[in-house]
Amino acid sequence: MASTNDLKNGMVLKLDNDQLWSVVEFQHVKPGKGPAFVRTKLKNVLSGKIVDKTFNAGVKVETATVDRRDMQFSYMDGDYFVFMDMQTYDQLHVPRPAVGEAANFLIEGFTATVATHEGEVLYVELPAAVELVIQETEPGVQGDRSTGGTKPATLETGFTVQVPLFITTGEKIKVDTRSGDYLSRVNS
């Protein structure tokens, strides 16, 4: 249990029938009239839904212990992603729904943050950007080198991104894992 005065960004609360909510932002408000209160923006850990919620100042809220560990992606086992804890070498089978959009950018050997609560995997979080090799893309046509032109390119994970026309098959690029957008070419 914690007081609403102790809230911090990233703290996970147990509210509404044991649902887990992460504090995205909070603000203590002391109006001229009336009692103080805390205005928060909360994100549902499992669904990603964001809601605004107001608490009276000093009210007790239940906190949840979320264990976040860096783990290395090893391989796919059916519909499960197998991650290895680099300290204990334990393997963790993570179901596809818990991996979510991160599955588009995972290749063997990548390190990701795996969050668990009471033994249940909540989500898998990748770094903001990853470097991946382009498996296949159409060649750029001579004269198509003007600014703003893009073409589809398939990454080594099978995910397709839009890249500038000058990018060729076999090049390594940096991709934003939050939006799936091309960021830059990586010089080897």
Model pLDDT for residues 76-112, shown as the tens digit of each residue: 888 899 999 888 888 899 888 888 888 888 888 899 9
pLDDT at 9: 83
pLDDT at 52: 92
Q: Is 100 helix (H, G, I), strand (E, B) or coil?
A: helix
In this structure, what CATH number is given to the domain that contains residue 98?
A: 2.40.50.140
The dihedral formed by the CA atoms of 144, 147, 150 and 153, expressed in degrees to the nearest 10: 80
For β-strands 150-155 and 120-125, DSSP reports them as: unpaired
Prediction pTM value: 0.72
Residues 45, 91 within the same domain: no
- Please give the mean pLDDT across all residues of the chain: 86
> 103 lies in which domain range?
67-125
Q: What is the mean pLDDT of residues 159-175?
A: 89
- The total of structural domains in the chain comes to 3
